[in-house]
């Protein structure tokens, strides 16, 4: 079945350092979504990428969708303590059901002030 | 605007007991989902519904049943709880437009002793 892999599983940084998490799918994706979950909270939608090679920015966050639409990345510039949480990527289920998502296991980011 | 509301927020059960988790959404979304989240496992889909009166199995459906009698509500039942079902359960909903993000509730933390 479809697999969505994320690396690294954990990342600890000093405040001000950059952070990147990578997402790889075993199948081509029609789109990819990114979610953030704060400790003790619930996943919150951040962004969706649809086009091959697409790059989107949200303030200090930069999201990329690979040319082959099988991988994606999230880069945070100059991390802040408010960036702490788990970042998940998710792609539509490969069985043709665009309303079901396969989530990666997430990358837990901790930031030392 | 409540979004997705889950009840209860916490519950402790004994092995063999039954219970129902309730999810309600006020966004008129067609699709609703139940996930479980365990450490290091990410979000795994239990059951989902694409409309009132319909349900379907997800990735890990065994030991759970669901019902969607009303469009705004999606119930998750545990008929005979087992310690392996100790987890955090999230309900989510999304519109029927392809690729739309999922909106999550705050979660139910369930412990089975």
Give the number of domains in chain B: 1
List the single best residue of A7, A42, A89 to mutate versus B (max B Cβ within 10 A): A42
Question: Which region among A87-96, B88-97, B99-108 has the lowest average model confidence (pLDDT)?
Answer: A87-96
Largest CA distance in chain B: 41
- Containing structural domain, residue A22: 4-112
Assign residue A23 the CATH number of its domain: 2.60.40.10
Please report which residue ranges of A13-57 form alpha helices under DSSP H: none
Residue with tokens 């990329």: A64
> Average per-residue pLDDT in chain A?
93
Assign residue B13 the CATH number of its domain: 2.60.40.10
Tell me how far apart the alpha carbons of residues A16 and B18 are, in angstroms, rounded to a whole number: 48
Instruction: Read off the DSSP letter of residue A104.
Output: P
Tell me the mean pLDDT in the region B87-99. Answer: 89
- Containing structural domain, residue B29: 4-112
> Average per-residue pLDDT in chain B?
94
**In chain B, whose CA is at the least distance from the CA of A89?**
B42
What's the token pair of residue B99?
Answer: 């690729």
Give the torsion through C-alpha atoms of B65, B42, A2, A73, to 10 deg.
150
Tell me how far apart the alpha carbons of residues B103 and A3 are, in angstroms, rounded to a whole number: 22
Instruction: Give the one of B45, B96, B105 whose C-beta lies nearest to A100's C-beta.
Output: B45
The yes-or-no verdict on residue A105 having pLDDT over 80 is yes
Which of the pair, A96 or B28, is modelled with greater confidence? Answer: B28
Identify all chain A residues contacting B40, using CB atoms and an 8 Å cutoff.
Answer: 9, 105
Give the number of domains in chain A: 1
Tell me how far apart the alpha carbons of residues B49 and B51 are, in angstroms, rounded to a whole number: 6
């Amino acid at each position: 079945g479809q697999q969505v892999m994320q690396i690294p599983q954990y990342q600890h940084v000093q405040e001000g350092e950059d952070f990147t998490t990578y997402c790889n799918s075993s199948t081509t994706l029609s789109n990819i979504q990114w979610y953030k979950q704060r400790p003790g909270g619930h996943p919150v939608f951040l962004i969706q990428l649809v086009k091959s090679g697409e790059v989107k920015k949200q303030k200090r966050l930069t999201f990329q969708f690979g040319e082959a639409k099988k991988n994606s990345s999230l880069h945070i510039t100059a991390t802040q303590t408010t960036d702490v949480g788990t970042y998940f990527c998710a792609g539509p289920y490969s069985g043709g059901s665009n309303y079901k998502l396969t989530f990666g296991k997430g990358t837990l980011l901790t930031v030392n002030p | 605007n409540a979004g997705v509301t889950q009840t209860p927020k916490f519950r402790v059960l004994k092995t063999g007991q039954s219970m129902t988790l309730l999810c309600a959404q006020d966004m008129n979304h067609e699709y609703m989902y139940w996930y479980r989240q365990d450490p290091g496992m990410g979000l795994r889909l239990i059951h989902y519904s694409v409309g009132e009166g319909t349900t379907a199995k997800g990735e890990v459906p065994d030991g759970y049943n669901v019902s969607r009698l009303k469009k705004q509500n999606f119930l998750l039942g545990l008929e005979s709880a087992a310690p392996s079902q100790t987890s955090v359960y999230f309900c989510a909903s999304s519109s029927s437009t392809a690729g739309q993000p999922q909106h999550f509730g705050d979660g139910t933390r369930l412990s089975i002793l």
